[in-house]
Amino acid sequence: MSDVAPLPTAGAHDGGVAHEIYPLGLKVAGRLVVVVGGGPVAARRARSLVEAGARVRVVAPDACEELSVLARVSAPGAVELVAHAYRAGDLDGAWLVHTATGSSAVDQQVADDAERARVFCVTAGDASVGSAWVPAVARTALTDDAEVTVSVTAGRDPRRATAIRDAVAAALQTGTLPLRRHRPSTTGTGRVWLVGGGPGDTGLITAHGRTVLAQADVVVIDRLGPRALLHELSPDVEVIDVGKTSGNHPVPQHEINALLVQHALAGRDVVRLKGGDPYVFGRGGEELAACHAAGVEVEVVPGVTSAVSVPAAAGIPVTHRGVARGFSVLTGHDGAADVPGGPDHTLVLLMGVTRLAETADALVTADRPADTPVALVEDGFGPRQRVTVGTLSDIAERATAVGVRPPAVIVVGAVVRLSPAWAQQAR
């Protein structure tokens, strides 16, 4: 009795319908591909082939401007323009043929000649004539040496294929599809991405930030990062919480730097997920330097800074024509006595709740009077977002009365009067 299982017949696992095509990727670099036709469709095909490294022979009595330009700007020998109508012998040496002449009779002749020469042929006019199809393609670059390519065919319905391709491409770009590698890095060393996660709302991280997060083996996250995104990660992704609160830094910065380097040198891809932007009081520069010193490749993915987005969530623009011509961003940990500008220059303070009374007193100058408007926006975009408004003279007292607590962004300047909270208080 044989122990070898019989091979399944075509369609055995799909309702008995045999598949019409066998999906395959072709390496055409350095190989001759013939494009028959001189119009825009032929030009698009030729350009894609040149980008893939093929040697392209274009056969057409007349070539459109795009083809002429392609021949001029491509590397020597990459594009050969043959200025005559298709004839026998034009396919000699070809590995693949694309025909897009606009003439069904010529396309049929090219397909017949290709069949006899055992060369696969793509026909743009009538897909049923050819022996190969060009799918709709979505590509997403993951690292310098890796790329995800998704090809879609849809029963000779190019619009359906394109619609599906676009949906897949969007899912790849937003990181909603699993992009993690399952084979070790070819170099033995992982990468680090310093990702600005925005003010905490999962919709305000950039598309590139979502893409690299979907590739991570390890995520090192801050308290103010978009933590809801952690629920979308695979269970085997290691999450390291290094969140800091006012006066409580359980993981010092030098240990965070060491964590990034340690995991990357072990061959893991690491995302350092921060709130806001890595370079706006995020200590991203220190982490970048630590990775470079250890020979670890690192990329900074900018984020939406809370210095601008959180005031916007409360209806406060940091600049406004006729009200504020500029703005400055400071940390509330530092003294604010020397900050230039009056009420028409917006001041945004981050991490300033603890020293609010001291800071408000220091900000009162001849150019910035005590009645300058102030807004405190707590937990911007979060479930307990709240806006407290007042002036430099009374904002500390108002904050104490309502129990303002971090995280909060402080906005000082005339733009605060544009907020709904200020209008409500006036009423």
pLDDT, one tens digit per residue, over 241-256 is: 998 666 566 789 999 9
CA 314 to chain centre: 27
pLDDT at 1: 43
Q: What is the mean pLDDT of residues 109-117?
A: 95
HSE-up (13 A, CA, CB side) for residue 414: 16
pTM: 0.68
Q: What is the mean pLDDT of the chain?
A: 87
Structural domains in the chain? 32-129 (3.40.50.720), 136-173 (no CATH), 191-304 (3.40.1010.10), 308-426 (3.30.950.10)
- Per-residue pLDDT band for 183 (boundaries 50, 70, 90) equals low
pLDDT in tens, 118-175: 999 999 888 788 899 888 887 776 654 567 788 887 777 778 888 888 888 877 776 6
Q: How confident is the model at residue 218 (pLDDT cuts 50, 70, 90)?
A: very high
Question: Is the pLDDT at 401 greater than 60, yes or no?
Answer: yes
In the chain, the percentage of residues whose pLDDT exceeds 70 is 89
User: Which has the closest alpha carbon to 232: 190, 175, 302?
Assistant: 175
Q: Report the largest interatomic distance among the alpha carbons of the chain, rounded to a whole angstrom.
A: 100
pLDDT in tens, 255-277: 999 999 999 999 999 999 999 99
Q: Could you tell me which of 121, 119, 118, 117 has the C-alpha nearest to residue 101?
A: 121
Backbone CA torsion sign across 289, 292, 293, 296: positive
Whether 367 is catalytic = no
> Could you write out the DSSP letters of every residue in 278-319?
TTSSS-HHHHHHHHHHTT-EEEEE----HHHHHHHHTT--S-
Q: Given pLDDT bands bounded at 50, 70 and 90, which one contains residue 182?
A: low
Of 201, 244, 344, 361, which residue is the catalytic one? 244
222 is catalytic: yes
Active-site entry in 90, 107, 222, 379: 222
- Least confident among 128-142, 173-187, 351-365: 173-187
> Region 396-421: what's the mean pLDDT?
95
